[in-house]
């Protein structure tokens, strides 16, 4: 239980600092998905309400949408707000160049879209997520969202790039996980990924892949909560 409390504290401290240093009035903010973002949205709501700021939040998933609503923040869409000031999100793994693996929660396509249309992608994580190379600590594989009707041929193509693909199965229902976009997710294990840019390019060349959980050269700043209560801040060089 102590470990769980420590991780929660790390996430909370990283989220507090990230929001404090990056949020301003009249911003349009992308809201990612996952457990860490819960802390960020709570902190965001405190600051926005305390200062009576006008901030619009654009969600990356149904979970993010509910978080925005539950915390009394203004909900918007990307079509209404095509250029975002910042995007707050978490990560499954962060390498030394701030490349990411994302998509453990199944929202990688929407998350990448928000990140792409934001001036800054701000990543919030705990110390377990940092590694030298992608694949060192995150052992579940690279999440890849795919068109359901081409599942088998896509998996065969992934194997040609030395990946071990597994169709992600649902827990509380029979059959595969279905994303918010009505697609399937393949988790492909490539072991240690020393050139994520090249791998991402190869995967996107496969017809039927919607997008990958490899976020290459997109992160502006990463806030990483440490075991001692401090927050490590990593910026794109």
Q: What are the sequence ranges of the domains in the chain?
A: 2-131+216-231, 142-212
CATH of domain 142-212: 3.30.70.260
Residue 111 designated active-site: yes
In 3-state terms, what secondary structure has residue 85? strand
Sequence-ordered strand ranges (E) for the chain: 28-31, 56-59, 74-75, 84-89, 93-94, 100-101, 118-126, 142-146, 164-167, 184-189, 209-212, 214-215, 221-225, 231-235
**Among 13, 43, 93, 111, the one annotated catalytic:** 111
Per-residue pLDDT for the chain (237 aa), expressed as one digit of tens each?
348 799 999 999 999 999 999 999 999 999 999 999 999 999 999 999 999 999 999 999 999 999 999 999 999 999 999 999 999 999 999 999 999 999 999 999 999 999 999 999 999 999 999 999 999 999 999 999 999 999 999 999 999 999 999 999 999 889 999 999 999 999 999 999 999 999 999 999 999 999 999 999 999 999 999 999 999 999 987
Per the document, the length of the chain is 237
Fold category of 2-131+216-231 in CATH: Rossmann fold (3.40.50)
- What SS3 class is residue 138? coil
Distance, CA of 225 to CA of 108 (rounded, Å): 23
pTM of structure:
0.95
Structural tokens at position 25: 């009035």
Locate 117 and state its tokens.
């249309």
């Amino acid at each position: 239980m102590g470990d769980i409390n420590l991780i929660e504290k790390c996430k909370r401290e990283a989220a507090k600092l990230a929001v404090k240093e990056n949020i301003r009035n009249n911003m349009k903010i992308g809201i990612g998905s996952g457990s860490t973002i819960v802390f960020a949205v709570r902190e965001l709501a405190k600051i926005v309400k305390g200062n009576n700021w006008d901030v619009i939040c654009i969600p990356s998933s149904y979970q993010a949408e509910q978080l925005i609503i539950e915390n009394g923040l203004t909900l918007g869409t990307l079509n209404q707000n095509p250029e975002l000031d910042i995007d707050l999100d978490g990560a499954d793994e962060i390498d030394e160049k701030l490349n990411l693996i994302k998509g453990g929660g199944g929202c990688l396509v929407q998350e990448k879209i928000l990140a792409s249309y934001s001036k800054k992608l701000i990543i919030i994580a705990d110390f377990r997520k940092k590694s030298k190379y992608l694949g060192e600590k995150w052992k579940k594989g690279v999440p890849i969202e795919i068109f359901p009707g081409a599942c088998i041929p896509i998996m065969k193509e992934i194997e040609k790039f030395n990946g071990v693909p597994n169709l992600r199965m649902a827990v509380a229902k029979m059959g595969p996980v279905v994303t918010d976009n009505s697609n399937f997710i393949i988790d492909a294990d490539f072991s240690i990924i020393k050139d994520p840019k090249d791998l991402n390019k190869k995967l996107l060349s496969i017809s039927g892949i919607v997008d990958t959980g490899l976020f290459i050269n997109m992160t502006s700043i990463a806030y990483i909560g440490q075991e001692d209560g401090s927050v490590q801040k990593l910026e794109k060089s």
